[in-house]
């Protein structure tokens, strides 16, 4: 039963405060990290994880779970804090951030069961989210994909390649959120807090754009509700935020990017300010323990897929065949042997012969036009669950020819058991 807003919002506010405190303590213990980048997105994370997304913290690989991709990967501490708050692991483990004996790296790593794709290279997360949304369509799942970007990374060309492809494919299950905190690493960001600049760009790319105050939990929840109702186009929620929100001596101030609070007086002062921001929430009320009320996904029963042996090529010994044609024939045979094989193309299918795959399996062929960055990264989406062994498919087979980059545009990826690792790719080489 939905929790009324009067009870929900104060509880989410306290979660946002805890996420800030955990991010501050983790980065200070590590001696490195980006606490102020985490602080600006705390309310967004609280609303997403504890009032919006459907997932099971104890079963993060459920194929019908909603997906979250942190495109601004340097804010990983608050992502880890959210999963700890949800009960995926002990909160005390957050203090192992960036240690050599810990998988809580400075940027998200797929070695963690609740992380689907590594994000550290800015502009790549939204590309992966496009692939994740396409995968929902492929396996006929109702899961939604959420991706959180930074305003600084919005200068990356790959962001706009992804925007184009997502709009073309009418990915209404994809919801982006941009943390517009106005400050980059060395200076203010390109458009700072000019929200109209962001809004008109996303609208121009065919997205439904919503501008909100990113620290207003009611506005965040309303925007997420609106996004869920939008059909035949993706949504981008543009959240005006303040970098370092919640701590007076860093809030909205330049020069604090990637700088943790010094252990001792500086950290104690920051935590003390944050602790004063907790608000009363009745112990026995409906929102007393939101982590225990995260809605679980409705799992769908799917048939077990057993791949058939791949048919051998019909070549005779000594016959000369162009690599590109052999590639086209090979991926068509792979597609015939395994219905989980999909192909992605960047407008060279008639050169690489990948159109043979398209003609045989049009519903598993994805045309990206010449948007090569989103094509490559979207192929690393989190795959659907299968019962087959993933071990033989974990080997990535890549071959490229330096002389002609055009031949890099057609790729085939084998979709095996769910794993964030890219399974198998075959590139046309001539």
pLDDT (0 to 100) of residue 283: 84
Residues of the chain above pLDDT 90, percent = 80
Residue 240 lies in a domain: yes
**Does position 408 have pLDDT exceeding 50, yes or no?**
no
Same domain? For 80 and 201 the reply is yes
Is residue 257 domain-shared with residue 370, that is, in the same domain? no
Contacts of 80 (CB under 8 A, 6+ apart): 26, 94, 97, 104
127 plus 62 within the same structural domain = yes
CB contact set of 368 (below 8 Å; sequence gap of 6+): 165, 344, 345, 346, 347, 374, 375, 378
Alpha-carbon distances, residue 414 vs 125, 162, 172, 182, 237 (angstroms): 21, 22, 25, 40, 33
Whether residue 314 lies inside any domain: the answer is no
Q: How confident is the model at residue 381 (pLDDT cuts 50, 70, 90)?
A: low
Residue 352 lies in a domain: yes
Tell me the C-alpha distance between 155 and 365, whole Å.
29
Structural domain harbouring 182: 5-293
pLDDT over threshold 70, residue 397:
no
pLDDT score recorded for residue 419: 31
| 311 occurs within a structural domain | no
Query: Last residue of some domain: 293, 313, 335?
Result: 293
pLDDT in tens, 340-365: 999 999 999 999 999 999 999 999 99
Q: Say whether pLDDT at 392 is over 60.
A: no
Per the structure, the count of domains in the chain is 2
Contact, 360 vs 335, CB < 8 A?
yes
0.85 exceeded by the pTM? yes
Do 400 and 427 contact (CB within 8 A), yes or no? Answer: yes
206 and 91 belong to one structural domain: yes
Model confidence at 404, pLDDT cuts 50, 70, 90, reads: very low
* Structural domain includes residue 12: yes
d(CA 14, CA 8) in angstroms, rounded, equals: 10
Q: Which residues are catalytic?
A: 372
179 φ, ψ to 5°?
-85, 95
Q: How many helices (H) and strands (E) does the chain have?
A: 13, 9
**Strand partners for 235:** 175, 208
Contacts for 2 with CB less than 8 Å, ≥ 6 apart: none
Average pLDDT of the chain? Answer: 88
Radius of gyration for the alpha carbons in the chain, expressed in angstroms and rounded: 23
Same domain assignment for residues 142 and 269: yes
pLDDT more than 70, % of the chain: 88
Answer whether residue 154 shows pLDDT above 60.
yes
Is residue 271 domain-shared with residue 170, that is, in the same domain?
Answer: yes
Between CA 142 and CA 56 the distance in angstroms is 15
Which CATH number characterizes residue 42's domain?
3.40.50.970
Residue whose tokens read 């807003």 = 5
> Helix (H, G, I), strand (E, B), or coil: what is residue 68?
strand
Pair 278, 332 in one domain? no
> Are residue 396 and residue 339 in the same domain, yes or no?
yes
Query: Do 265 and 395 have their domain in common?
Result: no
Question: Are 274 and 387 part of one and the same domain?
Answer: no
**What does the pLDDT read at residue 425?**
34
Note the pLDDT of residue 1. Answer: 62
User: CB of 313 within 8 A of CB of 323?
Assistant: no
pLDDT for 380: 74
Same domain, 18 and 162: yes
User: CA-CA distance, 6 to 249, in Å (whole number)?
Assistant: 31
Averaged over 53-62, what is the pLDDT? 95
- 400: in domain: yes
Evaluate whether residue 315 is within a structural domain: no
* pLDDT tens per residue across span 289-321: 999 999 999 878 888 889 999 998 888 889 999
Read out DSSP for 213-273? ETT-HHHHHHHHHHHHH--SS-EEEEEE--TTTT-TTTTT-TT-TT-PPPTTHHHHHHHHH
- Residue-level pLDDT at 255: 94
State mean pLDDT over 198-211: 98
Q: Which helix (H) or strand (E) holds 146?
A: strand 145-150
Q: What share of the chain is helix, strand, coil (3-state, %, to 5)?
A: 40, 10, 50
- CA dist 326 and 340 (Å) reads 21
Give 99-131 pLDDT, tens digit per residue: 999 999 999 999 999 999 899 899 999 999 999
**287 and 329 together in one domain:** no
The answer to whether the beta carbons of residues 235 and 208 sit under 8 Å apart is yes
Lowest mean pLDDT among 115-129, 131-145, 395-409: 395-409
Q: Can you tell me which residue has the tokens 């805890």? A: 18
Q: Decide if pLDDT at 17 tops 80.
A: yes
pLDDT the model gives residue 180? 98
**How would residue 402 be classed by pLDDT, with cut points 50, 70 and 90?**
very low
**Given this model, what pLDDT does residue 2 score?**
80
Count CB neighbours of 107 within 10 A: 18
Residue 305 covered by a domain: no
């Amino acid at each position: 039963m939905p929790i009324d807003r009067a009870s929900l919002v104060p509880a989410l506010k306290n979660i946002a405060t805890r996420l800030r405190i955990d991010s501050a303590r983790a980065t200070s213990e590590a001696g490195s990290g980006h606490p102020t980048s985490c602080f600006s997105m705390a309310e967004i994370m609280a609303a997403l994880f504890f009032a919006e997304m459907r997932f099971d913290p104890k079963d993060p690989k459920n194929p019908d779970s909603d997906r979250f991709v942190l495109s601004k990967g340097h804010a990983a501490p608050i992502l880890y804090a959210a999963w700890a708050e949800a009960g995926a692991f002990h909160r005390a483990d957050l203090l192992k951030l960036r240690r050599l004996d810990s998988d809580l790296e400075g940027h998200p790593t797929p070695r963690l069961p609740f992380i689907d794709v590594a994000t550290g290279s800015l502009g790549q997360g939204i590309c992966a989210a496009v692939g994740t949304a396409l995968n929902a369509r492929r396996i006929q799942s109702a899961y939604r994909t959420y991706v959180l970007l930074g305003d600084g990374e919005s200068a990356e060309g790959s962001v706009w390649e992804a925007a184009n492809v997502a709009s073309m494919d009418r990915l209404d299950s994809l919801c982006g959120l941009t943390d517009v905190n106005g400050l980059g690493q060395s200076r203010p960001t390109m458009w700072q807090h000019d929200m109209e600049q962001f809004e008109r760009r996303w609208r121009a790319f065919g997205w439904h754009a919503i501008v909100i105050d990113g620290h207003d939990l009611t506005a965040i929840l309303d925007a997420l509700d609106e996004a869920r109702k939008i059909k035949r186009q993706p949504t981008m929620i543009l959240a005006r935020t303040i970098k370092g929100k919640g701590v007076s001596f860093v809030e909205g101030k330049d020069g604090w990017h990637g700088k943790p609070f010094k252990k001792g007086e500086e950290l104690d002062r920051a935590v003390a300010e944050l602790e004063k921001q907790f608000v009363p929430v009745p112990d026995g009320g409906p929102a007393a323990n939101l982590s225990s009320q995260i809605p679980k996904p409705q799992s769908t029963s799917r048939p077990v897929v057993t791949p058939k042996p791949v048919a051998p090529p019909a070549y005779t010994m000594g016959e000369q065949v162009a690599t590109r044609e052999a590639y086209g024939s090979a991926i068509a045979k792979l597609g015939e042997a395994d219905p989980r094989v999909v192909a992605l193309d960047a407008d060279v299918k008639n050169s690489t012969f990948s159109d043979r795959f398209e003609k045989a399996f049009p519903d598993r062929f994805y045309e990206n036009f010449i948007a090569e960055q989103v094509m490559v990264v979207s192929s690393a989406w989190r795959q659907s669950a299968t019962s087959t062994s993933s071990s033989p498919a974990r080997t990535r087979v890549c071959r490229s020819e330096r002389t002609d980059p055009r031949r890099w545009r057609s790729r085939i990826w084998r979709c095996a058991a769910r794993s964030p690792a890219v399974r198998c790719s075959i590139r046309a080489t001539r």
